């Protein structure tokens, strides 16, 4: 199964439980306490399934000693079943998505985490032909630069989902691959940890994808995508993109300005035209100059003709082989450009359907915090926590309780 299809299995969140188009693993910070629901629990039906699976696994070449070692400390995880049966497909705007995955705090962390890896990334770029900053950006979006690798045992996660049966064949294949990885000595059961759906390591490979694309960049005889050193994971991501036909030396895309009155119906990933045609329509690079003529290209303009817009080249589609969300691809490209020293967007998004700009939504969140209604760190993204705080504020003041931000609510908080 193609990796993009595998990714759809767990597109239920993002780096810190985001929206459609990020990793969806709800990976935890390394060393953080694990919810008991994600720790092995007794389950007789699971145990019977596991015993039958052992026979199937041995018939496919998994040794008995690998099975014994692989399942030590592993077992049925009720939290995985709950998560799998209750996935909600969140849809974030591009503006919200960038605020969640590429904020100034994220960029500061990224620069600090990427700096020690610059020589390694340069070597990976020479080897794979893939832009080093794109690889680094994927690392950032997948696990916040290695700070959120996930703490759930991959054997437990994949075996629980295989037992559950809703996508049993797929997850049994992942479990079988995970056991082969252990058998080949790339890692050990206690180190093979990741997401609730079995995605692993710094750049979140599923086990079957690991088998096909992971590389031993360090030359130590192991393809180690889980350790403190991210080299093998970064190189494996480069190899994945290379084999999906990354074009060396070409950009993923760039921010552009659209002329006033530009018909946004002409935009969208599937509406590809020659660069000359876009130029003739008045599309210009936001930073000036002449755009490269790289064949067919598409335009993404989520905020309309007056907002931020991007022209998308071939390599953007290669990024989408890693994760099929357009927002994810924009997030990777934007993060990569910023890590490379680029500036922020030259145009800003306008008010959303609440009538507030992102800056005003951040101000509203800050004022709710000041009033004693905890929304966390203001980011301008209205989620369930902000909505709950608004409802509490509205109820306390006898207002209509709908949990929605608005200019009137912002004005009330400012008084």
| The two three-digit tokens of residue 84, written as one number | 């799998």
Give the model's confidence band at 90: pLDDT under 50 very low, under 70 low, under 90 confident, else very high.
low
Determine what percent of the chain is predicted with pLDDT higher than 90.
85
Query: What pLDDT is stored for residue 35 in this prediction?
Result: 86
Distance CA 281, CA 278 (A): 5
Residues 191-225: tens digit of each pLDDT: 999 999 999 999 999 999 999 999 999 999 999 99
Q: Is residue 393 part of a domain?
A: yes
Choosing from 294, 310, 339, the residue where a domain stops is 339
Residues 375-409: tens digit of each pLDDT: 999 999 999 999 999 999 999 999 999 999 999 99
Query: What pLDDT is stored for residue 291 in this prediction?
Result: 83
Residues 18-31: tens digit of each pLDDT: 333 333 333 444 44
Q: Is residue 351 part of a domain?
A: no
Q: Is the dihedral of CA 11, 133, 248, 274 positive or negative?
A: positive
Distance CA 201, CA 212 (A): 15
Query: What pLDDT is stored for residue 265 in this prediction?
Result: 87
- List, as one string, the DSSP characters of 167-213: THHHHHHHHHHHHHHHHTTS--TTT-EE-TT--BTTTTB-HHHHHHH
Q: Worst-scoring range by mean pLDDT, 19-23, 92-96, 268-272?
A: 19-23
User: Helix 231-243 and helix 118-128: axis angle, to 10°?
Assistant: 30
- Per the rule left: phi > 0, alpha: psi between -120 and 50, beta: everything else, 55 is alpha
| pLDDT, average across residues 18-45 | 63
Query: What pLDDT is stored for residue 88 in this prediction?
Result: 63
Looking at mean pLDDT, say which of 14-23, 27-36, 285-294, 317-326 comes out highest: 317-326
Query: What pLDDT is stored for residue 33 in this prediction?
Result: 65
- 141 & 261 share domain: no
Q: Is residue 22 part of a domain?
A: yes
- 235 & 258 share domain: no
Choosing from 181, 213, 243, the residue where a domain stops is 243
In the chain, % helix, strand, coil (3-state, to 5) comes to 50, 5, 45
- 60 & 139 share domain: yes
Judge contact between 256 and 299, C-beta under 8 A. yes
Residues 115-174: tens digit of each pLDDT: 999 999 999 999 999 999 999 999 999 999 999 999 999 999 999 999 998 899 999 999
Query: What pLDDT is stored for residue 2 in this prediction?
Result: 39
Query: What pLDDT is stored for residue 29 in this prediction?
Result: 47
- 193 & 273 share domain: no
Q: Count the domains in the chain.
A: 3
Q: Is the dihedral of CA 251, 253, 257, 261 positive or negative?
A: positive
**In the predicted structure, residue 34 carries a pLDDT above the cut 90:** no
- 82 & 170 share domain: yes
- Please report how many Cα atoms fall inside a 13 Å half-sphere around the Cα of residue 351, on the Cβ side: 8
- 154 & 293 share domain: no
- 114 & 163 share domain: yes
Q: Is residue 102 part of a domain?
A: yes
Judge contact between 180 and 62, C-beta under 8 A. yes
Judge contact between 87 and 293, C-beta under 8 A. no
Judge contact between 310 and 331, C-beta under 8 A. no
- 232 & 259 share domain: no
| The two three-digit tokens of residue 373, written as one number | 């209604």
Distance CA 43, CA 183 (A): 26
Tell me the sheet residues that pair with 257: 284
- 99 & 166 share domain: yes
Which structural domain range is residue 204 located in?
A: 3-243
């Amino acid at each position: 199964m193609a990796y993009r299809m595998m990714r759809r299995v767990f597109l239920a969140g993002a780096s810190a439980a985001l929206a459609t188009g990020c990793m969806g693993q709800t990976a935890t910070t390394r060393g953080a306490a694990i919810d008991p629901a994600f720790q092995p629990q007794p389950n007789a039906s699971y145990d019977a399934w596991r015993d039958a699976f052992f026979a199937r696994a041995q018939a496919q070449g998994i040794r008995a000693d690998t099975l014994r070692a692989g399942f030590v400390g592993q077992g049925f995880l009720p939290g995985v079943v709950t998560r799998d049966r209750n996935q909600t497909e969140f849809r974030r705007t591009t503006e919200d998505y960038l605020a969640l995955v590429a904020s100034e705090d994220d960029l500061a962390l990224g620069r600090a985490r990427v700096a020690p890896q610059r020589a390694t990334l340069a070597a990976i770029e020479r080897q794979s032909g893939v832009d080093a900053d794109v690889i680094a950006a994927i690392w950032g979006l997948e696990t916040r630069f290695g700070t959120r690798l996930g703490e759930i045992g991959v054997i437990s996660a994949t075996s629980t989902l295989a037992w559950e049966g809703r996508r049993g064949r797929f997850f049994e294949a992942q479990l079988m691959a995970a056991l082969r990885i252990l058998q080949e000595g790339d890692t050990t059961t206690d180190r093979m940890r990741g997401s609730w759906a079995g995605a692993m390591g710094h750049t979140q490979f599923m086990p079957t994808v690991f088998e096909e694309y992971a590389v031993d960049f360090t030359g130590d005889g192991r393809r180690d995508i889980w350790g403190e050193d991210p080299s093998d994971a970064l190189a494996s991501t480069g190899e994945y993109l290379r084999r999906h036909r990354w074009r060396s030396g070409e950009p993923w895309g760039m921010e552009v300005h659209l002329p006033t009155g530009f018909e946004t119906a002409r935009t969208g990933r599937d509406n590809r035209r020659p660069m000359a045609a876009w130029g003739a329509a008045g599309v210009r690079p936001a930073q000036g100059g002449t755009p490269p003529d790289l064949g067919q290209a598409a335009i993404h303009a989520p905020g309309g003709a007056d907002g931020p817009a991007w022209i998308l080249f071939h390599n953007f589609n290669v990024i989408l082989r890693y994760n099929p969300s357009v927002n994810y691809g924009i997030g990777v490209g934007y993060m990569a450009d910023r890590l490379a020293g680029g500036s922020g967007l030259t145009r800003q998004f306008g008010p959303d359907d609440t009538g507030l700009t992102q800056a005003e939504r951040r101000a509203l969140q800050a004022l709710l915090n000041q009033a004693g209604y905890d929304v966390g760190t203001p980011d301008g993204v209205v989620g369930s926590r902000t909505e709950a705080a608004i409802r509490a504020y509205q109820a306390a003041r006898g207002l209509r309780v709908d949990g929605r931000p608005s200019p009137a609510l912002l004005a009330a908080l400012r008084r």
